[in-house]
Amino acid sequence: MGRPEMSGEDNLLRLVEAEDGDENNYHLQDQVGFILRKAHQRHVAIFASQIGDLTPPQFAALAKLHDIGETSQNQLGTLIAMDAATVKGVIDRLKARGLVEVSKHEVDKRRLLVNLTPEGRAAIERLIPLARTITEETLAPLTAKEAATFLRLLAKLA
């Protein structure tokens, strides 16, 4: 401390002057939300460098359809964590590219069934190995042990 007779008022003053002693300052770069946003940005950039013609949400939709087969647009949205408005846009674009096809549910006329086309199936099967590379590259700054810890904790937050 520079001044031995430092008082509460001096601390307030120091805060207002904000020249030194900034332990009470708010630092954006230490906030979990900000770092989470940046980590996500970096991942999306890595994804784009490996899979240029598909976005992560589009990939997620195809991968889930490949995993579970035909399902309703609404159910698909739940499974890949997208609200109804978002999933509609994603499916519309995949449909326009011939990677998925939609049909009406025979019994429940509210539902729109979505399924992979043969082209969509071929595409996702070709891309899954690249997805593993993307995961590896995203986690590359961590050791194997750190990566395992990170994934475990991240899953608790998601």
Provide the strand spans (E) within 18-125. Answer: 71-72, 100-104, 112-116
The b-or-e profile of 58-91 (16+ CB within 10 A means b, else e) is bbbbbebbbeeebbbbbbbbebbebeeeebeebb
Beta pairing class for 112-116 and 100-104: antiparallel
Site string for a copy of itself, 52-91 (x = CB under 8 A): ----x---x--xx-xx------------xx----------
Closest CB to a copy of itself among residues 18, 104: 18
State residue 58 phi and psi, 5-degree precision.
Answer: -65, -45
CB of 21: closest distance to DNA in angstroms?
29
Q: Which does 74 bind (CB under 5 to 8 A by kind): DNA, a copy of itself, none?
A: DNA
d(CA 48, CA 81): 20
- From DNA, a copy of itself, none, interface partner of 17 (C-beta below 5 to 8 A by class): none
Looking at the DSSP bridge assignments, the partners of residue 116 are: 100
Toward a copy of itself, which CB reaches closer, 105 or 132? Answer: 132
Minimum CB distance to a copy of itself, residue 35 (Å):
5
Q: Pick one of 19, 41, 72, 114: the residue that binds a copy of itself (CB under 8 A).
A: 41
Query: In this complex, which beta carbon is closest to DNA, that of residue 84 or of residue 142?
Result: 84
